[in-house]
A = this chain, B = another copy of it.
């Protein structure tokens, strides 16, 4: 497949860019932060996004979706990355919807997917149990008690954990087999602690104390493979978002140094900065390539997805760090102030880098996949 967007994908991207610039710019995130907004995202913007079909892109038509594919979703994510838009896109659409598509029963799909497509239901994936990404190293347990399952454990850094209506929870039995369960956020025994993260996005610790559920998701004991595949898709989607963040930070920096004068000339005329800028340009070009290739691999159901997902998440983590660091340095003192927006990009980059595994995690995984 050619490494270019189709016309439809390009149109979707263009319209997303226009909408987000108008309705969810960086200033909107600042406002949510400064007002210590209770929800941490803007529900009316989210409703509008859903109305435009962004929550339905990967949902089959049978369940009220558009079945447009992940390459399309990636374009939306890239644009939200540019505007640093806080929304349930990553938690509910990119991650949980993928899990539901792959594992849910028809009845579960019927019950959940149309509501997600309409922007009326938020589902968060409660998986990690420490600050460092190790999705299958869990201690949260399940036991069967008659018709229902009993869950116990502590989940950390659950994206949108404090605004979710439902959780998909990973837990293991005594034989260390991992299963997934659906749990209502208001179920007895669920306690939620909202966290204030560096990037002002939503995350929470979710503890489960003798929580009852009778909603198993997928086949019991086969959760591990499901988690890995869904996470790979989420890694690629997050990489697409990071591509937007990185490009926007870079373009703003280039505009800045074209104009900003020191010693009577634009600082963009200093060759040392130019060479660093040109190097960043190249890395961003590489980022574009791997993100597009990985998105296409999802839609093509390619066997190479795991490797491409690690390549994408690693490369974007590396480049987002490089570019946002250099952005602040190129801006100079003004870049250190909260008034200037460039610092928001630095902060978002650091959180996104850690989410779903950082550079080192994926470098290690890549080497192992290649047999060394």
Contact = CB atoms under 8 A, between A and B. Distances in A.
A268 to B, nearest CB: 12
A114 B121 CA distance: 90
Nearest to A274: B272
A275 interface: yes
A372 interface: no
Interface in A345-367: none
Interface in A243-299: 270-272, 274-275
Contacts of A271: 270-272
Nearest to A270: B271
Nearest to A275: B272
A97 to B, nearest CB: 42
Interface residues of A, number: 5
Q: How many copies does the complex hold?
A: 2
A272 B277 CA distance: 11
A270 B275 CA distance: 11
A274 B270 CA distance: 11
Nearest to A278: B272
Contacts of A272: 271-272, 274-275
A216 B281 CA distance: 63
A267 to B, nearest CB: 11
A275 B272 CA distance: 7
A270 B274 CA distance: 11
A224 to B, nearest CB: 31
A285 B275 CA distance: 25
A366 to B, nearest CB: 20
Interface string A324-358: 00000000000000000000000000000000000
Contacts of A270: 271
Contacts of A274: 272
Interface string A105-129: 0000000000000000000000000
A170 B217 CA distance: 65
A48 B357 CA distance: 62
Contacts of A275: 272
Nearest to A269: B271
A274 B272 CA distance: 8
A275 B270 CA distance: 11
A131 B199 CA distance: 50
A37 to B, nearest CB: 43
A272 B270 CA distance: 8
A272 B273 CA distance: 8
A196 B277 CA distance: 43
Nearest to A273: B271
A263 to B, nearest CB: 12
A326 to B, nearest CB: 13
A60 B271 CA distance: 56
6 contacts: A270-B271, A271-B271, A271-B272, A272-B272, A272-B274, A272-B275
Shortest Cβ-Cβ A-B pairs, 4 listed: A271-B271, A272-B275, A271-B272, A272-B272
